[in-house]
Structure 1
Amino acid sequence: MNTYPLLDSINTPAELRALPREQLPKLADELRAFLVESVSRTGGHLSSNLGTVELTIALHYVFDTPGDRIVWDVGHQTYAHKVLTGRREAMASLRQYQGISGFPRRCESDYDTFGTAHSSTSISAALGMAVAAKQKGEDRHGIAVIGDGAMSAGMAFEALNNAGVMDANLLVVLNDNEMSISPPVGALTKILARLLSGRTYAAARRAGEKVLGASLTRKVEEHVKGFITPSTLFEEFGFNYLGPIDGHDLDALIPTLQNIRNMEGPQFLHVVTRKGQGYKLAEADPTLYHGVGKFDQAAGIQSGKSGGKLTFTQVFSDWLCDMAAQDERLMAITPAMREGSGLVRFEQEFPQRYFDVGIAEQHALTFAAGLACEGMKPVVAIYSTFLQRAYDQLIHDIALQNLPVMLAIDRGGLVGADGATHHGAFDLSYLLCVPNMVVMTPSDENECRQMLYTAWQHEGPSAVRYPRGSGCGAVPQTEMQAIQLGKGEIRRQGQRVALLAFGTLLHDALRVGEELGATVVNMRFAKPIDAQLVRELTASHELLVTLEENAIISGAGSEVARVLEEAALNTPIMRLGLPDRFIDHGDQTQLMHEIALDQAAILQRIRERLDHLRHS
């Protein structure tokens, strides 16, 4: 028996548009059930995708995609979009090595009009597409689907400000589900929440139903809402505001979108959806079901302690609370990543010193700089890939003024299934060139705790960069001791070859060192580099090999090469790291093998270099 008879007949949006409208609710039911079944087998983002099923159907049903361009903000809410655009069978390979991405990718489908995975870019991109259509004389729309969490970022408002004066057919769909990954924060969120839960709106609806009846009330509801919602906020930007409407009601969505399709100029549609819609377990805990591994769809995610190793994120979480208990100057800041960055416990124990600034990385760093100016000790917990968005603030507002702002950089290196947009591939490269920075790369969990304390003690900008997941299983010592700045340590004394490891690649280096009889060094600091130790190693070794899970260009290995150059030393150096290309998604072990940065590949590459040196 075919479980999804209607869904299985849809391979393109053109086939979707051929369906009678009365069949669309059944299609939505099948699509939602398919997503739960599919994601339970592969893992991925679930809550957000269950919340956009009807909206996805309605957009592809009304607009002539891919001629009309849909840009999905953040992009983790596009699973229904992928299924309806010919990738239903490929969902079995979602986020897996050489499978389809969990985000839109232009190289994957013509319907993925813009690659997204970082928030708040959709309005800018869709506006560019709409303006280009106008310039080329093409009759098509640019459509940005953006969540209320992403709408809090400054870039979204920059785009709104520009779009309102453009003569372009742009539609911004605000998908208001009252939640990003962490609960949303900020004034805009409060406005949106207030308009849906406020007594005025509820009273107006109840009164309308008494006088007019439920059916007629629904027809006039849009007019009623116009008097009591903050539509002026978006109308002041030059948009024609419509909504809010129920994002799960196809009878409301489709006629509204059909009307908008015939309008000229910038339009703003506010839809209200529910994360996890239709799957009770996800509705009850949308955060737990935001990003999931494989699970039993009947039993749901089984929470509880697995008895596994501590993750680096947990090490940071514990250190942060321990340090805050000792020093009331500690202030913790996160740009909307409370759970991911390990700040849940801190918020519970130190609520007055916890600041979730929303999806606003630039603001997060300059806010921290302001705190530091007044004698506070701010710790910014941020993913490597998101720190990229605040580079100017790091240089201009923190480093230039030599302020004691500490960066706890999570997800340094490859992160696996989220792929190229989320790999922490560049942070060492872009941090090392910034004056006044101290950059540390812990090799294990205990060293991470001690480095966090070292950064805390430093009276200037500092960063501790650690990977996703767990390390070798080293138990963090409760007692905290600062490490001498810029000092590496020899972990194995050998001959001929010296392996200089930055971060958790130390453990592969130690095993390779055993095979080669080589010296192995835990460099610990990418900046300041231990130049004295590097010079000493050149005097007794034929080859230096640097290892880092960072872009090979301008990374920590380049700092070692600089030391050799400045000392006029000609000892050969071999730099191993991430290649000069974007690395796809997949299992961590597979990816490290693919880029020849696993233990076997490191050993082989060094042996080949030694052979080459002998022959030359």
Structure 2
Amino acid sequence: MNQHPEYLLNKIKSPADLKVLSLDEMKQVAGEIRHLIIEKDAAVGGHLGPDLGIVELTIAYHYVFNAPGDKIVWDVSHQTYPHKMLTGRAYAWLDPEAYGKVTPYTDPEESPYDYYAIGHTSTSIALATGMAKARDLLGGSEKIMAVIGDGSLTGGLAYEGLNNAATEKGNLVIVINDNQWSIDKNVGGLPVALKKLRDTNGEASDNLFKAMGFDYRYVADGNSLEAMIAAFQDVKDVDHPVVLHVNTLKGKGYEPALANEEAHHWVSPFNLEDDSPKHPAPALTPKKVAVQTIAEAIDRGQENLLAINAAIPGAFNLDGFKEQYPDHYLDVGIAEQESVALAAGFVKAGGRAILFENSTFLQRAFDQLSHDVALNNLPVVMLVGGGGIQANSKTHVGVFDQVMISNLPNWQYLAPTTLAEEKAMINWAIQQKAGPVAIKLPVWPVDEKGSTLEGYQHIHYQKWRAGQGAAILSLGDTFNLGLKAAEELNASLYNPLSANTLDTDCLDHLARHYSVIITLENNVLDGGFGQKVASYLADQPVLVKSFGEKREYTDVDQSLAEILNRNHLTAEQIVNDVKQLLSSKN
């Protein structure tokens, strides 16, 4: 049901409807957009600060340019709520019953105004340059624009994109949305260069963009609709690459977001009355345990530890840590490749690096995981968050980390079944020197307490329950699911500890004493733990059935329950499947 039938936004079905509005009416639309963003994010969660800060820029773009003929590529695209509202999708903010009908990132399957499914950073300049090259070759005349945040500029691909964009022979506008933030405050030398330009109204002599060959323009108030319309009209018909540097205010229009930008980059559902979360986080989580364990090690005297993070300290509860242990914390910006390579260098020189990496972003650093760390067999420690099946955008699925890491030589990929086991694994990993160790932080609920081992160099599967007929190997946070199925089946249950190191003695034993072996993993199946077990046991007279997720991208239109059900990852489905296998063996 439309909660705001009086809004002007109801009349905007495409940018053509925007173009007939007066300046005052467009300002009214800007206020409506901000109100709807806050209202919807309070109800269901979402990106808040980035979208509030880019409203005027978005309105001005669609007023001046002629999308979808003219092309705009949004970096990350987590700031496209205003864009979506102006391109026929406002119903997903006006009607609470339609909140789930529109994805949180650009999606060409959803609208002709979106050109890419994008949810990772620093890609827009390269994508836009490629589109400009194709236009030039094919004789087109459309205008091409990339919108990239100052935080996204800390990613290596952004520099590669700038390097090639500077030599484009035709129209190409690169808008730098400079709000002085990525998720956390920006780090490194780039923020210094941008600040000089802001402080001098774009007149600083040491201008990186001019030095590279770009035409350069500056807009001091990117939240002024008049200023943005004028700026876009000024660059619309240029016949060369231009950097349009725009100073905006992240979180504009919502006071709590201005007071705490990091916490309001992305928000869980909150109460509009006081900005308090509707569902407070539990007192103890896997990420909190990880940070506490590192802090305790430093307090015990392990002074060579360095926690390394790529611009998402809040995602790992590192904000308190970075204040308490500033010499033991490094944020490299949105640059996973840099974080892994830097960690390798730190370890080679005698330090102990602990990487805090998010599963979906880690894929950017695959070459460093392989070449710099694994090939050199350096004892880097990596804690992987978000690695598992969740209801999320297809741009942010976290089910590929296990395959990336565990199929590289030398890496040991551990998967704790309890918070106690997680802590024991971290303490062992930061002491050992045999090689790189990754630890998959649970994303499904796990118990706090449980038995632990002294070391994890040599993997011996732990037997947790004795049974008959079938043996279940339940990896990491699938343990409670495995326990439920084992109790229903009267099956044996084992904790395999590692996603990629097989306990072959145990597997040989299981093959001799059970008809069916089941593997459970919170990851994509192809190349995963279950396939490794099945491959090893291929010549033995035992059936192996692996449960995990199909090789696919899931999206926000699917609930976690739907994803689990489709992949036969409920206890009831596992029990029924195992019963059928046991029946076929008899």
Normalised TM-score (structure 1): 0.90
Q: Which residue of structure 1 lines up, in the alignment, with residue 548 of structure 2?
A: 577
> Are 2:260 and 1:285 aligned?
yes
Give deviations 1:242-286, integer Å, cap 9, x for gaps: 003311011111011011111112111011111110111211112
How many residue pairs match? The answer is 581
Aligned pairs for 1:509-524 within 5 A:
509-524=482-497
Q: Is the 8 A contact 2:394 2:555 kept in 1?
A: yes
Residue 488 of structure 1 contacts residue 522 of structure 1 at CA under 8 Å; is this kept in 2? Answer: yes
Aligned-residue offset at 1:582 = 1.1
Separation in 2, partners of 1:577, 1:609:
17
1:601 aligns with 2:573: yes
Q: What residue in structure 1 maps to residue 204 of structure 2?
A: 228
1:584-595 equivalences under 5 Å are: 584-585=555-556, 586-595=558-567
1:406 and 1:456 in contact (8 A); partners too: yes
- Aligned with 1:583: secondary structure? coil
For residues 36-74 of structure 1, what are the alpha-carbon distances to aligned partners after superposition, in whole Å with 9 as ceiling and x for unaligned? 112212211111110011111111111111111111111
Counterparts of 2:334 and 2:367 in 1: how far apart (Å)? 17
Partner of 1:188: 190
* Amino acid across the alignment from 1:366: A
CA 589–427 in structure 1, closer or farther in 2 if over 3 Å, else same: same
CA distance in structure 1 between the aligned counterparts of 2:257 and 2:567, rounded to whole angstroms: 37
Query: What are the within-5 Å matches in structure 2 for residues 365-384 of structure 1?
Result: 365-384=340-359
Q: Rate the CA distance shift 1:608–1:63 in 2: closer, same or farther, 3 A.
A: farther
Q: Secondary structure at the residue paired with 2:61?
A: helix
For the pair 1:556 / 2:558, whether they are aligned, the reply is: no
Written as runs of structure 1 = structure 2, the 5 A alignment for 1:327-476 is 327-417=302-392, 419-459=393-433, 460-468=435-443, 471-475=445-449
* Cα contact 2:36–2:93 (8 A) shared by 1: no
User: Do the aligned residues in 2 keep the contact of 1:453 with 1:481 (CA within 8 Å)?
Assistant: no
Aligned residue for 2:39, secondary structure, equals helix
Q: Is the 8 A contact 2:263 2:314 kept in 1?
A: no
Contact 1:44 1:292 in 2 (8 A): yes
Q: Does 1:268 align with 2:239?
A: no
1:66 counterpart residue number: 68
Q: Structure 1 CA distance, aligned partners of 2:74 and 2:49?
A: 16
Where does structure 1 lack aligned partners over 5 or more consecutive residues? 202-224
Please name the residue that 2:142 is paired with: 140
* CA positional deviation for 1:481: 4.1
Using the alignment, how far apart are the partners of 2:395 and 2:95 within structure 1? 18
- Displacement, 1:511? 0.7
Q: Is the 8 A contact 2:418 2:446 kept in 1?
A: yes
Residues 127 and 168 in structure 1, CA contact (< 8 A), matched pair in contact too: no
- Tell me the CA shift for residue 90 of structure 1: 2.4
Deviation at 1:482, TM superposition (A): 3.1
Sort the Cα spacing of 1:480 and 1:316 in 2 relative to 1 into closer, same or farther, 3 A: farther
The DSSP-based 3-state class of the residue aligned with 1:157 is: helix
Aligned AA (1:600): E
**Partners of 1:316 and 1:342 within 8 A in 2:** no
Residue of structure 2 equivalent to 1:44 = 46
Please state whether the residue corresponding to 1:144 is helix, strand or coil.
strand
Among the aligned pairs, what percent are the same residue? 35
What's the counterpart of residue 474 of structure 2? Answer: 501
Number of the residue aligned with 1:214: none
For 2:426 and 2:521, how far apart are their aligned partners in 1? 20
Q: Distance in 1 between matches of 2:97 and 2:522?
A: 21
Match of 1:244 in 2: 219
Q: Does residue 527 in structure 1 map to residue 500 in structure 2? A: yes
CA contact (8 A) 1:449 1:480 kept: no
1:297 aligns with 2:235: no
| Aligned equivalents of 1:94, 1:404: Cα separation in 2 | 50
Does structure 1 retain, via aligned residues, the 8 Å contact 2:92–2:99? no
**2:129 is equivalent to residue 154 of structure 1:** no
RMSD: 2.2
- Contact 1:168/1:265 (CA < 8 Å) preserved in 2? yes
SS at 2:176 equivalent? strand
Verify the 8 A CA contact 2:389 2:549 in the aligned structure 1: no
Partner of 1:209: none
Letter paired with 1:235: K
In structure 2, the partner of 1:14 is 16
CA gap of 1:388–1:226, structure 2 versus 1, over 3 A, is closer
**1:272-304: CA deviation from partner (whole Å, max 9, x where unpaired):** 11111011121111222221122222322249x
1:164 is aligned to 166
SS at match of 2:238: coil
1:492 CA drift (Å): 0.8
- Give the stretch that moved more between structures: 184-193 or 403-412: 184-193
Q: Which residue is equivalent to 2:285?
A: 311
Change (3 A) 1:392 1:530: same
- Deviation by residue 1:208-233 (Cα, 9 ceiling, x = unmatched): xxxxxxxxxxxxxxxxx353364x31
Letter in 1 for 2:15: P
Contact 1:97/1:590 (<8 A) preserved: no
2: CA distance between counterparts of 1:118 and 1:95? 28
**Counterpart Cα distance in 2 of 1:29 and 1:315:** 42
Q: Report the 3-state secondary structure (helix = DSSP H, G, I; strand = E; otherwise coil) of the residue aligned with 2:477.
A: coil
Contact 1:415/1:422 (8 A) holds in 2: no
Between stretches 345-354 and 600-609, larger displacement belongs to 600-609
Q: Which amino acid aligns with 1:284?
A: A
1:177 aligns with 2:218: no
Give yes or no for the alignment of 1:87 onto 2:62: no
Residues 157, 306 of structure 1: alpha-carbon distance in 2 compared, 3 angstrom cutoff = closer
Aligned match of 2:519: 546
Compared with structure 1, are the counterparts of its residues 80 and 229 closer, same or farther at alpha carbon in structure 2 (3 Å cutoff)? Answer: farther
Question: Residue 97 and residue 63 in structure 1: after superposition, are their counterparts in 2 closer, same or farther (change >3 A)?
Answer: closer
Worse-matched range after superposition: 112-121 or 596-605? 596-605
CA distance in 2, matches of 1:542, 1:96: 49
Q: Give the residue type in structure 1 aligned to 2:253.
A: G
CA contact (8 A) 2:92 2:98 kept: no
Shift of the alpha carbon at 1:127? 1.1
Cα offset, 1:306, TM superposition? 4.4
**Alpha-carbon shift at residue 308 of structure 1 (Å):** 3.0
Tell me how far 1:577 sits from its aligned partner. 0.7
C-alpha distance after superposition, 1:369-391 (max 9, x if no partner) = 11111110111110111111111
Which residue in 2 is equivalent to 1:536? Answer: 509
Instruction: Classify 1:146/1:19 alpha carbon distance in 2 versus 1 (closer, same or farther; 3 Å).
Output: same
Counterparts in 2 of 1:92 and 1:481: CA distance versus 1, 3 Å: farther
Shift of residue 99, structure 1, vs aligned partner: 3.4
Greater CA drift, 480-489 or 521-530: 480-489
Distance 1:613 1:391 in 2: 42
Residue 299 of structure 2 is aligned with which of 320, 325, 330?
Answer: 325
Shift of 1:93: 8.6
How far the C-alpha of 1:519 sits from its partner, in A, is 0.9
